[in-house]
Each structure stands twice: as structure tokens, then as C-alpha cells.
Structure 1
Amino acid sequence: MNTTRVLRPAPVTARRNSRTLALETIREKIITLEILPGTRLSENELAEQLGLSRTPIRESLILLAEERLVYVVPQVGTVVAPILLAEIETAQFVRESLELAALAESLSRVTPEDIAHLNAIVDAQRIADSRQSLTSFFTLDEEFHSALMAVSGHGSAWRTVAQAKSHLDRARHLSLSFTGMTLLVDEHQRIVDGLAGDAADAAVLALRSHLRRVFEDIAAVRATSPELFSA
């Protein structure tokens, strides 16, 4: 009797889930600057930390290289990329174009329920500010802008914004310690108030000013940590 066992490859779904886990985890660590620019990444160490095989780790690093979040250095290996200023400018262009266009359409579609939802997020941000919780605040900031875009009926467009702004998000994480959260919360409130009061000009001006503030913040961060950035 032939008792030889046939080893079958893992189901495609399982492999995909492992790659997704690896990609999302490593990406978040890079964007939140838990892993700093210039850090060498070891496939073996990452696989051990995440409890995965090297294959999903390697596949994730390839995808992160496409986002220009990592790059390969001959004789060195995979290294976390610096924050690229050109990528920030492109991401800001995409973000501002889509968010302002969405806001223009939201003015004729907004409901009291939408305003209540946005105000609830702003209130949660004030709590995060009082607790000095940068992580919670950043998550709520994403939720606010996603919800704001959803009012226009084009909420799925937020995925396009999110995919474009990985380098911008790294800079935003850095800038929170410079700008502080209170100012950003107040700007969010002005956007909601303009939307609630059917004040188109005020809402658009508040949102544009809010989105462009990141350039001032980045200038301040670069002055103290120039090694984290690259043109």
C-alpha cells in the first residue's frame, strides 16, 4: 500500500489572507512611524513577529515597494523609504480635488442626521485631544473625512484618497505633535458648521484651509528632522 502523503498548497484564500495581514500590519507600522525611515527590514524577523511564513512577508514588501514605502538596496536588503515630498504634493492634490468636489455636492444633500454624525465624531476628537491620544485622534480624523465625503453620495471615492496618501499620512503623524489636536478639531467644527448652516463659501474655505495646513506642519517637522524626508 502506498502511504505517501501528498502535500497540497495552502488554499488561495488562506495565502491571500496572510498576505493581507502582513501588508496591513507592516504598512501601518511604517505610516505611523513605528518603523522609521532608513530602517532595514528582515523577512525572517517580520515573519517571526507576525507568526507567518516568509512568503506573505516577501509579497507584502513587493507591494509596499510599489507604493514607494520601501526600496531595495543592493547588498543591504529592503529598507524603509524616507518621506517623499513629491508624493506628498501629489497626494495633497488628489485629496483636495476630491474632498472639495464632494463638499460642493454635499451642500444640497446634507441631512440633520449627517450633521449629527459629523458632530459626534468631532466630539470624540475633543475627548481624544483631552486625553492626548494621538492614535485615537488620527483614526477619528480619517473617520471624519470619510464621513464628510460620504455625505456627497460618493463615499467610495475615499478609497482613492486613502490609497494615494501613504507618504502624506506619515507626515501627518509627525505633524500632530507640532500642530496639536485642538486646532484641527476647531477646523473640523467650522467645516461642519458651514455645512449645517448652508454656508457654502465658509465650508469650502474652512476645508481648503484645513487640508493645506499640512504644508506648514511639514515645514516645521523638516526643520527638526530633515533626515526623515527626501525630495
Structure 2
Amino acid sequence: MAAPPRPRTNRRVVYETLRRKVLTLELPPGTALSENELAAALGVSRTPVRESLILLADEGLVQVFPQVGTFVSRVDPDRVRDAQFLREAVELAALDDVPAELDPDVVAELRTNLDRQRAPGIDLEEFFALDEAFHHGLLQLSGHARAWSTVVSAKGHLDRARRLGLKEKNTTTPFADQHVEIFDAVVAGDLPRARETMRTHLRAVFDDIERLREHAPELFATDDGSVPVRRNVVVWE
């Protein structure tokens, strides 16, 4: 009989909550973070909040400026570039290992996923979750599903840049269409075409960043490391 799952600690819950809110832009880049206000909003003591902010700072998602305050970090294009490099290296290499005989269960899950991606009026966060599941599913086909956790841990700034780009475009259709192209190429055994489409798909974020930096420079890190614009802390229900 399997042992019951271990309950998550306060710190883990607080960390996962804050990380999700940073990545989904509910806590936008530059937001001032108050330990007291966050602790009150989450119904916990300051200790797990402080510990969680340290973990988020280690990931580059939070910045602490002595004598000034703690802020959600601005999106760093260099970190986006590094994460995209890692993701491209892993996902393109994995396509080389896709077997001739595909797992029918994973293929069926990917088809269902693609159908849901193209549903009219799909919510941004629902699409983003399906996008993540799609790429994880491709790694499953190649036998490298466990590599996804390494990719996820490195792509916080990339995920925020992608969400900013999706919000500005106000459509997910081009990305869903690229997913279909990649999937169709994999199923057809045309791995060179799958690789080329995947490379184009993953690199699209850089065009979005340059455009977004022109329209909203306050959301992005500066070369001189200047302090972000102070904003009120975001408190949620």
C-alpha cells in the first residue's frame, strides 16, 4: 500500500504561490513586495514569506535593493536568451531521438491537447498550460520526459516574456498553428521539418521582446542595473 503524500510545508506553499503569481504577471515586473503585506494576504507568518523571497531571488525573479526594498525583478533579456538556448538545445536534440513507432497513448493525448489549444476564445493561462503540456509530451515521445523539469526550473524570465508577448498579440492562434505543424511533421516522420519549425517557434520570443521593450521599457532590466520603478504591492483575495 502506497504511503500517503507528505503534506507541503508553509514555505513550499508560499513559494509556489508567489512564483506562480510572478510568472503569470499577477505580480508584474517592478512590483514592490512587502513581507508584512504578503504574509497577511497569505495568512502565514513572515518567516515562510522571507524564505520564499530568498528562493525567488536565487532564481532571479525577485531583487533585493538594500535600504530601498524588495521588488519583482524586471524581465532580463539575457536570462531569456539563456533559457531559450537551453530549451532549444534540449527540445531539438530530443526530436532526434523520436522513434519510428510512436507511443499511441501519447500521440492521442497530444491530438486532444491541440484540439483544446484551438478552441475559440481560449483563456491565456489555459493556453499556456496546454503549451507546456504539449512540449512536455513531445519529450515523452522521445523518452526524455524527465528533462522537462530542468527546462522549467531555468525559464522563469522566458515564461514572463512569452506571456507579455501573448498579451500584446491578444491571440494564441499563430502559436497553436505552429504546434500543429510540429506535431504533423513528427507523426509523418519528417524530423528535419519538425526541428526547423520548432526552432522558429522557440525563437519567436525575441521578436516580441524587442517590440515590447520599445512600448514598455519599465518591464525590462536595464544595463546599468538601476532600481525598478516603485509600485504598490499587489494584494489578492
- When the two structures are superposed, what TM-score results if normalisation uses the length of structure 1? 0.89
Q: Where does residue 114 of structure 1 map in the other structure? A: 106
Q: What letter corresponds to residue 195 of structure 1 in structure 2?
A: V
Instruction: Kindly indicate whether residue 24 of structure 2 is the aligned counterpart of residue 28 of structure 1.
Output: no
Q: Is the 8 A contact 2:97 2:142 kept in 1?
A: yes
Q: Where does residue 151 of structure 2 map in the other structure? A: 161
Question: 1:195 is matched with which residue: 177, 186, 198?
Answer: 186
CA shift, 1:107, in A, is 4.1
CA shift, 1:114, in A, is 2.5
Instruction: Using the TM superposition, name which of 169-178 and 101-110 deviates more.
Output: 101-110
Alpha-carbon RMSD: 1.5
Instruction: Kindly indicate whether residue 167 of structure 2 is the aligned counterpart of residue 177 of structure 1.
Output: yes
Higher relative contact order (CA 8 A, sep 6+): 2
Q: How many residues align?
A: 216
String of CA shifts for 1:161-191, please: whole Å, max 9, x gaps: 0001000000011011234200000000001
- When the two structures are superposed, what TM-score results if normalisation uses the length of structure 2? 0.87
CA shift, 1:109, in A, is 4.9
CA shift, 1:76, in A, is 2.2
Question: 1:209 is matched with which residue: 200, 212, 228?
Answer: 200
Q: Is the 8 A contact 1:109 1:152 kept in 2?
A: no
Following superposition, which runs of at least 4 residues in structure 1 exceed 3 angstroms of deviation? none
Q: Is the 8 A contact 1:100 1:208 kept in 2?
A: yes
Unmatched tracts of structure 1, length 5 or more: 1-12
Q: What letter corresponds to residue 199 of structure 2 in structure 1?
A: R
Bigger Rg over Cα? 1
Higher helix fraction (1 or 2): 1
- Aligned residue for 1:72, secondary structure, equals strand
Q: What letter corresponds to residue 156 of structure 1 in structure 2?
A: R
Q: Where does residue 55 of structure 2 map in the other structure? A: 63
Residues 109 and 92 of structure 1, relative CA distance in 2, 3 Å threshold: farther
Instruction: Kindly indicate whether residue 206 of structure 2 is the aligned counterpart of residue 226 of structure 1.
Output: no
Instruction: Kindly indicate whether residue 121 of structure 2 is the aligned counterpart of residue 131 of structure 1.
Output: yes
CA distance in 2, matches of 1:178, 1:77: 29
Q: What letter corresponds to residue 113 of structure 1 in structure 2?
A: D
Instruction: Using the TM superposition, name which of 220-229 and 54-63 deviates more.
Output: 220-229
